Every structure is written in structure tokens, then in C-alpha cells.
Copies of this chain bind each other. A is one copy, B any other.
């Protein structure tokens, strides 16, 4: 089957772009490479993505969204909020660790791309913070957690940065990293519990 017999969708272009980025690296990959990989003209690619920058932004977004979809599913569960928070943080760490470990070249490529597309990254982080806030709000509603959900979501995200910020990727393969993750999460969960300190009765 020739690739040109398939309909050229944005999704197919993004798939091909990711493969071209993996092969050529972020510095050398061009729209012409993407078009060639798909067996189409570069004009066809530009009909979906008006500039090379727009294409790079979209592929970065797709890469980041891949993890957040699964995480959104965990955040929306009806389970005990403590378990849900632990599962969510574990899934975030797992997703990042797998991305970094399974395909280090693609991970390095996307480290460059996320540096170029800070708005996309900011939106990704806002999405994740929204999911965390949702879990914490539910915990407060059930009387399991105390503290302001939005402020605390940010604190939990910041406090676990070592286990999701790509800057730390080189440490994720170290022995002991899982125990370090568990120790941080245990400590945070203790802090979140409604019995964890003087309750605010204002």
C-alpha cells in the first residue's frame, strides 16, 4: 500500500513528524523531510500546519498530552482520594520515566522542543495542576484532606518535581529512586491528612 492512498490527516502528519524528529534530531528535521516520509508535497503538509513552528508546537502538544490523558482518568476515579493521589503521582513518574528510559533520543528531542514551546508546556502543567486540584478538592469534600486544594496542588507538584521534571531524567534509573519517591509521597500524604495539624476554624 502506497502511503499516498491514505487520507492525509493532521494525526498522520504528526506521527510522521515525530518519526522524522527521532531520525534527524530537532535541529535538522524539516517540513520537506516530513512530506517525503508521507509521500506527499510539502504544500500538503502546510495545508494542515501553516508554519514549521506550528507543526513543531502541535507535535510537542501531542507528546505531552499522551501522558495527561491517562492521568486525567485516574483523577476522575471515584476511589479513596489518598489512593488516587498516590496512583496519580506514581503514574506521572512512571510515564516520565518510561519516556526517558525507553527512547532517550526522542526524549532528548522533546526536551529541545518543550524549551521552544513554553506556552504549550505551561498549558500542560496547568492541566496537571487542575487534575491534582480535583483530587484534593474531592479529598477535602470527603473530610480526608485539609488545606486549600489549589495552593496545595501546586505544593504537591513542586515537592515531587524530582520525579517528573525532565531535568532529573538522568537520576530516574538510579537504584533507590523508587524508595525516595515513596518517602516524599508518604510525607506529603501525612501533611495532607485532615488530622495532620491544627485545623483552620476561622
- A interface, CB within 8 angstroms of B: 147, 151-152, 154-156, 158-162, 167, 179-180, 183-184, 186-193, 195-197
Contacts and interface: CB of A to CB of B under 8 A. Distances in A.
B162 A183 contact: no
Contacts of A154: 180, 183
A155 B184 contact: yes
25 contacts: A147-B187, A151-B179, A151-B183, A152-B187, A155-B183, A155-B184, A155-B186, A158-B180, A158-B183, A159-B159, A159-B187, A161-B161, A167-B167, A186-B191, A187-B188, A188-B188, A188-B191, A189-B191, A191-B191, A191-B192, A191-B196, A193-B196, A193-B197, A195-B196, A196-B196
B184 A190 contact: no
A152 B188 contact: no
State the main secondary structure of chain A at its contact with B: helix
Contacts of A188: 159, 187-188, 191
A78 to B, nearest CB: 24
Contacts of A159: 159-160, 162, 184, 187-188
Contacts of A158: 162, 180, 183-184
Contacts of A160: 159
Nearest to A153: B183
Contacts of A195: 195-197
A99 to B, nearest CB: 19
Nearest to A163: B158
A192 B184 CA distance: 11
